[in-house]
Amino acid sequence: MPSSRHRNTRDVLSARPLAIAADTPVITSAGGTEPNLIAAMRDGGLPVGTDAREFSSEAEFALRVTEALSDGLLLSMEYPQPTSLYPDERSVKSAELVGYLNNKASISTFVDPRFQARRQIVTTAELAEAAPAEKSWVLKAATNAAHGASLDVYLHRAGELVNLPAFTDILSEVVVEEYLSIHRNWGVQLYVAADGQARLLAVTDQRIDAEGVYTGGRFGLVVPLPADLLTECLAIAQRAADVGYRGMCSLDCAQTHDGRLVMLDLNFRITSGSIPLLALHTIRPDDLDRPSESTKLTTAAPISALLAALRPALVRGGLLVTGGHDTRRTDNPINQTTLHLIVFGDDPHDVATRRTALENMYNH
């Protein structure tokens, strides 16, 4: 995780793969290896990583990378890293490719025009004219240094006060996209294996809040993706594979209220939808069509205290810990705990009710 204003976000993301890593080495923030957290994931039946290479500071991260290279390991980055640290010849995919694929300005290169929203790339100097306050629009960061977690997207509704996001102070170009009235929102989870073939893992529903930020996924009982949109998703992943991409990817797409099918975002990395899905494949591979929802709890309390409070619910069943992070185990001066969970069962209403109750109890 390179030095960033979004240090905690990147630390949290580094720990996500631990839940399903088994014996694969993972360079992870120490915030994600708290003993009670690891125990909770193992108790849930997950193949938690046994080779966690921890870092608690930026300097330690660089050391862990250097050590991994010395061990002869091939590295897979989810976000662009400097080639001085990650030589391309020792990486599954190059930093340039990872950055380019995740750049919000690159979508027109990989997506058939039939599935593209109206959009234009403008300089920040042209932004006031391209995105007036009296119209609705979506603003996206045009950068190869993408960090995800909805930090690169800003939604504006006509007539509201324009409060431009921080990335407009840093970047020279941005993407201005039409504001869509969305009826259904899917996350299409795919992967490209070592053989270079793009394959479908699953289609999930995405829960999006009023600000357009992803808040969790729904798995099982998902409204089917239209066949031509699914075909395009596979084609997009294969186009990326053909230029060298290997790994997980999630394609955000939607159906508008007027029936249009649109590709919203290309996420060529492990995402918030990837790990819950792989966890479900592990704990109930024959019941993937049963309802489940993922969520994230955020609190200032230590992660051990949060897990202790959730212990009765975990014992009752229908709740799985899939990851977490506590900044107290790093040099981050801000105390913040994040816990990732899956709520599952047989009744979709019950699942949604229990997930909402958890969020209302801890997320304020």
Please write the tens of the pLDDT for every residue from 276-285.
Answer: 999 999 988 8
pLDDT given at position 82: 84
Higher pLDDT, 13 or 209: 13
Query: 142, 173 in Cβ contact below 8 A?
Result: yes
For 130-179, write each residue's pLDDT tens digit.
Answer: 999 999 999 998 888 755 544 578 899 999 999 888 888 888 899 999 99
CA distance 248 to 258: 31
CA distance 44 to 61: 29
Instruction: Give the domains, in start order, of the chain with CATH numbers.
Output: 7-78+272-362 (no CATH), 114-178 (3.30.1490)
- Percent of the chain beyond pLDDT 90? 72
Is the predicted pLDDT of residue 205 greater than 70, yes or no? yes
Tokens of 99: 């950055």
Is the predicted pLDDT of residue 299 greater than 50, yes or no? yes
Instruction: List CB contacts of 177: < 8 A, sequence separation 6 or more.
Output: 117, 118, 119, 137, 138, 139, 140
Taking residues 183-208, report their average pLDDT: 93
Tokens of 206: 């995405």
Find tokens 């793009």 and name the residue. Answer: 198
pLDDT given at position 142: 86
pLDDT given at position 350: 96
pLDDT given at position 1: 36
For 30-72, write each residue's pLDDT tens digit.
Answer: 999 999 999 999 999 999 999 999 999 999 999 999 999 999 9
- Nearest by Cα to 232 from 272, 190, 193: 190
How sure is the predictor about 211, in pLDDT bands with cuts at 50, 70 and 90? low
Q: Are strands 52-55 and 26-29 parallel, antiparallel or unpaired?
A: parallel
Is the predicted pLDDT of residue 364 greater than 60, yes or no? no
pLDDT given at position 149: 46
pLDDT given at position 323: 96
Is the predicted pLDDT of residue 3 greater than 70, yes or no? no
CA distance 54 to 229: 40
For 224-240, write each residue's pLDDT tens digit.
Answer: 999 999 999 999 999 99
Residue 225 carries which side chain, given as an amino acid letter?
Answer: L
pLDDT given at position 104: 87
Q: What is the mean pLDDT of the chain?
A: 91
pLDDT given at position 212: 66
